Amino acid sequence: MQPVIKLAEIHKVYHTGEVDVHAVRGVSLDILPGEFVAVMGSSGSGKSTLMNMIGCLDRPTGGTYFLDGLDVSTLDRDQCAKIRNAKIGFVFQGFNLLSRTTALENVEMPMLYNHAHLPAAEQKKRAQNSLELVGLAQRADHKPNQLSGGQQQRVAIARALVNQPSLLLADEPTGNLDSQTSIEIMGVFQKLNDAGITIVMVTHELDIARYTRRTVILRDGKILTDEPVRDRLNAETELKNLKQAQEAVRLA
Amino acid sequence: MRILAPFKLAARALRRNKMRSLLTMLGVIIGVGSVIASVSITTGASKQVEDKVASLGQNVVTVFSGNFTSGGMRGGWGSAPTLTVEDTTAIKNEVANVVAVSPEVRDRMQILANGLNWNTQIQGESPDYPQIRDWDIANGAMFTDADVRSIAKVAVIGKTVVDQLFINQDPVGETLIIRNIPFKVVGVLESKGFNLFGQDQDDIVIIPYTSHMRRITKRIFVNSIMVQAASKDAINQVQDDITTLLRDRHKSAEQDFTVRTQLELMAMATSTTRIMSVLLGAIASVSLIVGGIGIMNIMLVSVTERTREIGIRMAVGARGRDILIQFLIEAVTLSAVGGIMGIALGMAAAKITSHFTGWPTLTPYAWIGIACVSSAGIGIVSGFYPAWKASRLDPIEALRYE
Ligand SMILES: Nc1ncnc2c1ncn2[C@@H]1O[C@H](COP(=O)(O)OP(=O)(O)OP(=O)(O)O)[C@@H](O)[C@H]1O
Ligand SMILES: [Mg+2]
């Protein structure tokens, strides 16, 4: 099977002022269709930098990156934009929602730039479905500043899913969230992954990584370990357990 | 991107900053408004002047005594007596394409009728006069060639004279006393209103030129000669031929008469309004440019403020050109809405001016079109640089922008 993502000796050097920051130093990684990968590592280890390059947002300063067999370094700005729009769903570390714009409109936005040119009614329907998938249909008319952090995170996920991408990239989708919401979001991801979507997710929480199938650990811009997840958790059962535990606390 | 979507985005972005949008548009509103107002006022003025010149008559060529085209002014038109009745006859007989002529003598005098008196213009003319001036007789008839030959004591009077001396009365057949000589009123002219110089053209008594020159005043020279050319195309030829003919007849070293055509009068009369409209237009275009700079300024601010938004849009797949179009449409919407408001404001200003000053105003449709197109153009020109700048942003840098 051809890998969706094939990184070979990827480097990223940031030139800032006098010192060059070597954020990624030779990462080689193959990710096959249908995989669910957690990228872990301490703060500053180059996780976001790597994700941005995988998401065609940023370009490596060294090495080659094949996305679906296509050498990304040969693509121009517009071609990258098209890939970001159609093939990849990206959930940002800081949500990156448009403020003063409703959740529904935020989710609709990627379709505005899609070459399929769906009619407005169809766009709205799809956005609504996408919000439903993350359990936020009732909050469609709310603006980001009227939503909780977890709800904003879910709007960002709904937006990433709306163009039905084959690859979902999520940079700390559960950062700053309480454990229940985190598990809920992992549930959504597991469902999507079961439906065949490839997922790469950054996290620094070990127990969140246990919902994925494979864990890659970075240190100082290099891969330290790359192992399959052994005792994989199921979000549905975990959620049930959590609720029972809470019930028990209340009864006690 | 669908066609309507960027317009929706633009409308929303502009509504978000209502006050700022309005202030930005103000430059264009004032610019377009002043263009429309000044064009309306000058067009109205030159239309009025053209109507007045047209009221002079049809294809008229006028010969004045004295030469005021060279050697400086010599006491005004028709002052130095050089033209004669014989000159008039010669023009009629020898110049081609002349259909009517009338020698003119003029004097202001006191006249009496019905025990009332009135100071008016007594004008000696030939029976061709109403035809040359394209001036109809409302009541009665013009005097005839026979009246001219018999030096008849007949008169055709204007509306103002009727109003002053023959109140509620049909003047035709009544008697009018000019310098103790009784004249019979045979006709009344249609009202013609004021002329180019603001004189009441209806304040007039027309009598045969022979009667004027022999009975009222004793003179041999006429003030001017009115000539009607057969057609508009013949006017210049008639002018040239009259000049040649009269130079030959007068045999003086220096030309002692002047031949003016209606076309020249038109050009002279409209030259002032033309200069006015050029000046006003220049001022207005400067304010339009200032308006454009205002739009460019605010669009640059807007691009900087919305760097993150641009980054987010690019991250989810907006291409440079989508961003370019979005900001360009925003700028064009600003200036086009400003332009439409400016047109309304300019037309209103013209109406108000006309209401308080009595000047006629006229807004040509062509200028409304020009205003629309140029305000949209200003939007494109002034919005292009900021929009281009936005479209060149790097998505990852834009996302990091605080
Ligand atoms: N635009 C930039 N310019 C300069 N240096 C940068 C830039 N972005 C990241 N870096 C540096 O690159 C390194 C890796 O950053 P990155 O954001 O990839 O870390 P991370 O693993 O995502 O950390 P975290 O878990 O805190 O999100 C850090 O040392 C950071 O300071
Ligand atoms: Mg990060």
pLDDT tens digit sequence for B326-351: 999 999 999 999 999 999 999 999 99
The shortest CB-CB distance from B316 to any of A58, A78, A84 is to: A84
Contact A115, A86 (CB under 8 A): yes
Residue A231 in tokens: 């005792």
Residues of A with Cβ-Cβ distance to B313 under 8 angstroms:
109, 113
- Residues with beta carbon < 5 A to ion ligand 2? A 48
Q: Which residue of A has its CA nearest to B4?
A: A120
Give the H or E element holding residue B111: strand B98-113
Which ligand sits closest to the CA of B401? 1
* Ligand 1 atom closest to B396 (CA): 1
CB contact (8 A) between residue A81 and residue B16: no
Which residues line ligand 1 at a C-beta cut-off of 6 Å?
A 14, 16, 21, 23, 41, 43-49, 93, 204
Nearest to B1 among A96, A113, A120 (CB): A113
**In the sheet where A70-71 sits, what is the strand order?**
A19-31, A5-16, A62-67, A70-71
The residue extents of the domains of chain B are 5-52+270-400, 83-255
pLDDT digits (tens, 9 = 90+) for B187-201: 999 998 887 777 888
Provide the residue type at B58 as one letter. Answer: Q
CB < 8 Å from A in window 144-183 of B: none
Chain B CB contacts of A159 below 8 Å: 316
HSE on the CB side for A128, CA within 13 Å?
7
Task: Looking at the complex, report in whole angstroms how far the Cα of residue A85 sits from the nearest Cα belonging to chain B.
Answer: 4
B369-400 residues labelled b (16+ CB within 10 A) or e (exposed) = eebbebbbbbbbbbbbebbebbbebebbebbe
- How much is the average pLDDT of B226-254? 88
B-chain CB neighbours of A86 within 8 Å are 317
Cβ proximity of B95 and B242 under 8 Å: yes
CB contact A87 to B (< 8 Å) = no
Are A220 and A45 in contact by the 8 Å Cβ rule? The answer is yes
Per DSSP, the three-state class of B326 is helix
Express each pLDDT in A137-147 by its tens digit.
Answer: 999 999 999 99
Report the nearest-CA residue for atom 5 of ligand 1: A14
Cβ of residue B17 closer than 8 Å to a chain A Cβ: no
Contact B213, B124 (CB under 8 A): yes
Using the predicted structure, report yes or no on whether residue B143 has a pLDDT greater than 90.
Answer: yes
Range scoring the smallest mean pLDDT among A38-42, B138-142, B265-269: B265-269
Instruction: Tell me whether residues B315 and A120 touch, CB distance under 8 A.
Output: no
Concatenate the DSSP letters of all residues of A127-173 into one string. Answer: HHHHHHHTT-GGGTT--GGGS-HHHHHHHHHHHHHTT--SEEEEEST
pLDDT value at B77 more than 70: no
Quick check: ipTM above 0.85? yes
Q: How far is the CA of B356 from the centre of ligand 2 (A)?
A: 71
B316/A98 CB distance under 8 A: no
Contacts of residue B13, defined as CB under 8 A and 6 or more positions apart, other chains included, come to: B302, B330
Q: Is the pLDDT score of A150 beyond 90?
A: no
- Residue B72: the pLDDT is 44
Q: Which domains does chain A have, with CATH numbers?
A: 33-56+75-251 (3.40.50.300)
What pLDDT digit, counting tens, does each position of A194-220 carry? Answer: 999 999 999 988 999 999 999 999 999
Cβ contact, residue pair A110, B316, below 8 Å: yes
State the pTM of this model.
0.76
Helix, coil or strand: residue B138: strand
